[in-house]
């Protein structure tokens, strides 16, 4: 199985990472990790409903 993210979603995530990195070093990457975990959790939760 493979999946990908829409290019505009990736761009939006990168902008958010930059925003949080400007506030505090490392915060943007913490944010990205939480977003990734949340997205993958939703994907795999949806796969279990079939």
pLDDT digits (tens, 9 = 90+) for 1-50: 677 889 998 999 999 999 999 999 999 999 999 888 887 788 778 777 55
How far is C-alpha 7 from the geometric centre of its chain's CA atoms? 12
Q: What pLDDT score does 11 carry? A: 95
Q: Where are the domains of the chain?
A: 7-47
Rounded to a whole number of angstroms, the distance between the first and last alpha carbons of the chain is 15
Identify whether the C-beta of residue 29 lies closer than 8 Å to the C-beta of residue 17: yes
Q: What pLDDT score does 50 carry? A: 52
Rounded Cα distance, 34 and 50, in Å:
26
How far is C-alpha 24 from the geometric centre of its chain's CA atoms? 18
pTM, two decimal places? 0.70
């Amino acid at each position: 199985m493979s999946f990908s993210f829409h290019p505009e979603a990736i761009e939006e995530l990168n902008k958010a990472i930059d925003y949080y990195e400007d506030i505090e070093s490392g915060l943007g990457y913490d944010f990205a990790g939480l977003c990734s975990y949340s997205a993958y959790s939703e994907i795999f939760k949806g796969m279990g409903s079939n």
